[in-house]
Amino acid sequence: MLLRGGTSKGAYFLADDVPSDPDARDELLLRVMGSPDHTQIDGLGGAHPLTSKVAIVSPSALPGVDIDYLFLQVTVDEALVSTAQTCGNLLAGVGPFAVERGLVPAGSGTTTVRIRLVNTGDIATAVFPSHDGRVEYDGDTAIDGVPGTAGRIELEVTAAAGKHLLPTGRVADEVVGHRATLIDNGMPVVLLDAAEFGVTGDETPAELEGRTELAAQLEEVRLAAGRLMGLGDVTAQTVPKMFLLSPPRSGGAVSTRAFIPHRVHTSIGVLMAASVAAGIRIPGAVGAEMAALPDGDGPTLIEHPGGTMPAEVTVHQDDAGTWHAASRSVRTARKIFDGRVFPRPRL
Ligand code: NQM
């Protein structure tokens, strides 16, 4: 089934319908999506990382959890499939897909699905509208980056036990001569001050993608940051995501441009926004000094190239001084197509 999840689009499969061997599965998914080819003309992929995504869904064996969701990022122009990150946007489509495939019964009014994010171990609760045994995709919720309105999907994500919000244990690090905050509130990201890179923060994604020197600088920081975050050699990985932060321009808390990690996001990922929102709430972190935080409990509005993403994030420091965070966000999703895919016969 092809669904839009938030501001991304992906192919959703039941685990039983794809090979269980990871190599055979990845090879099949490359052929399904039409990779490697920068146009993905011969497959389902949309020639951008945001539309070259796969969700594999199965019933969960974990007590209190309904569904296991494994995310795969299929690289557009290389024969690479990565499980090193999850995707909070495709997460929005997982509950509806589970109902569509009969893994979870639709509730009357709303359906609640507890989902294990297999890639990270984090647990999500998704609540979305449903009536007469069906998912209600229509509704009046608008999200920036998607035309029109659709049914409201509430997502709450809690970190797996033992995970560290600040993987280096520090609020800021010096990485290749730049002050950086390395933070993971669902998605490992590197927060940088845009001004240090000659970026004002109102550039379009295409403008930033055209700056090869900037890309090289960020990649150097990313490779070093990946090691510091315990992710190892991230050369062939899609994490950490690189964030250039600047003061807000349109009433939000902070303005962002995200390298994911080489293309520039046209908006922002859900869990990326959760990580940024947590970071700018921690005194001393990169971005905290320029952030205009809302009074009280309102959502933190993260500005991005396509508008604003509200992220409801709380942070707290325990007695040992360790920072923790929790996050909630609102997305929409839509079933676009259901059917049988015919993969290319060979790579
Ligand atoms: O951060 C893009 C997206 C994402 C990830 C990417 C995401 C998230 O916007 O939660 O959703 O990782 O390249 O779909």
Q: How far is the CA of 89 from the centre of ligand 1 (A)?
A: 6
| Per-residue pLDDT tens digits for 111-145 | 999 999 999 999 999 999 999 999 999 999 999 99
pLDDT tier, 55 (very low <50, low <70, confident <90, very high otherwise): very high
Pick from 54, 73, 83, 87 the residue to mutate for probing ligand 1's pocket: most ligand atoms within 8 Å of its CB. Answer: 87
Tell the residue number behind the tokens 């922002």, with chain if given. 268
Query: Are both 188 and 254 inside the same structural domain?
Result: yes
Q: How far is the CA of 132 from the centre of ligand 1 (A)?
A: 32
pLDDT tier, 297 (very low <50, low <70, confident <90, very high otherwise): confident
Q: How far is the CA of 42 from the centre of ligand 1 (A)?
A: 24
Q: What are phi and psi of 222, to 5 degrees?
A: -60, -45
Mean pLDDT, to the nearest integer, of 285-303?
A: 92
Query: Are both 203 and 130 inside the same structural domain?
Result: no
Q: How far is the CA of 108 from the centre of ligand 1 (A)?
A: 30
CATH number for position 28:
3.10.310.10
Whole-number pLDDT of residue 83: 96
Biggest CA pair distance of the chain: 58
The answer to whether position 345 is within a domain reads no
The answer to whether position 166 is within a domain reads no
Query: Are both 144 and 197 inside the same structural domain?
Result: no
Number of structural domains (the chain) is 2
Query: Are both 186 and 72 inside the same structural domain?
Result: no
pTM: predicted TM-score of the whole model, two decimal places: 0.93
**C-alpha distances in angstroms, 50 versus 90, 252, 268?**
10, 24, 10
For atom 9 of ligand 1, which residue has the closest CA? Answer: 269
* Dist CA 13 CA 70 (whole Å): 10
Q: What are phi and psi of 65, to 5 degrees?
A: -120, 135
Query: Are both 85 and 15 inside the same structural domain?
Result: yes
pLDDT tier, 294 (very low <50, low <70, confident <90, very high otherwise): confident
Using CB distances shorter than 6 Å, the residues near ligand 1 are 7-8, 49-50, 85, 87-89, 187, 260, 269-272
Query: Are both 146 and 239 inside the same structural domain?
Result: no
Q: 232: which 2 tokens? A: 């190892």
Whole-number pLDDT of residue 124: 97
- Residue ranges making up the domain that contains 198: 173-320
Average pLDDT value for the chain: 97
Whole-number pLDDT of residue 181: 98
